[in-house]
Amino acid sequence: MKLDNKVAIVTGAASGLGLATCNALSAAGARVVGFDLDQAKLDAALGEGVLGIAVDVSSETSVEAAVETVVKRFGAVHVAVNCAGILGPCKTISKGQLFPSELWNRVLGVNLTGTFNVIRHAALAMTANEPEETGERGVIINTASGAAREGQMGQAAYSASKAGVIGMTLPIARDLAEHGIRVVSLAPGLFESGMSAGMPAKVSEGIVNSLLFPRRMGKPEEFAALVQHVVENAYLNALTLDIQCGVR
């Protein structure tokens, strides 16, 4: 799908991978709408020509209203990129205390249910699009994680949520194929972001030292470049692409 003049929604847009994705898609000619919790942070971060809407992706009502706003303003949704996510680090048992069920539910609510909320409402809007010559109506890209397969200590909820994103990618792609909508997930390793900045130095250094080449954190712009490629490459569908530099 060519991005020029297409309408793209990006969640987690106020920082990190989401912000870099907004910038890349906008530079490619798309009309971009960024979703995030804090309107002030969105307004401060997003570039000229990118609309920011305060959205809680874990709330279906919030997502539904935001997608409706996008359609009313721009007439369509062609691309949806799910970058919103939280880490929620906590051991299953720590100092005699159990992993709080409230934290578990919050992590899965944002990372998994939030992703599905955006998928559903964006996909419904995409079904109304006039198909391109190839029959394509839309592209949905989700952010999984290398932690879905090999999570670190304290990542039970995070790993479970990202494994869920990977697990639902194929069945949703099968569900939406008849509508000309592709679904792809990206599984990043350790990237420069607010999330990685909150990790203990020993943990992040250990991950970087396990990389192949280049032995450094990924740059958000590198993630965004892959997002753009997925949108533009019509033969990518129903899979999860690793962007991890060989981390194990």
> Given strand 239-243, what is the order of strands in its sheet?
51-54, 31-36, 7-11, 79-82, 138-143, 181-188, 239-243
Q: Environment class of residue 96 by beta-carbon count within 10 Å: exposed (0-12), middle (13-18) or buried (19+)?
A: exposed
Give mean pLDDT, residues 163-181: 99
CATH superfamily of 7-243: NAD(P)-binding Rossmann-like Domain (3.40.50.720)
Residue 114's pLDDT is 99
Q: What is the dihedral of CA 82, 56, 19, 108, to 10 degrees?
A: -50
- Lowest-confidence pick of 46-60, 90-104, 186-200, 221-235: 186-200
Summarised one tens digit per residue, pLDDT across range 153-165 is 999 999 999 999 9
The catalytic residues are 158
pLDDT at 190: 86
Count other C-beta atoms under 10 Å from residue 132's C-beta. 14
SS3 assignment, position 94: strand
Residue boundaries of the structural domains of the chain: 7-243
Q: What is the pLDDT of residue 213?
A: 81
| Angle of CA points 163, 187, 48, to nearest 5° | 120
More confident of the two residues 204 and 34:
34
Give the pLDDT of residue 191. 82
* Prediction pTM value: 0.94
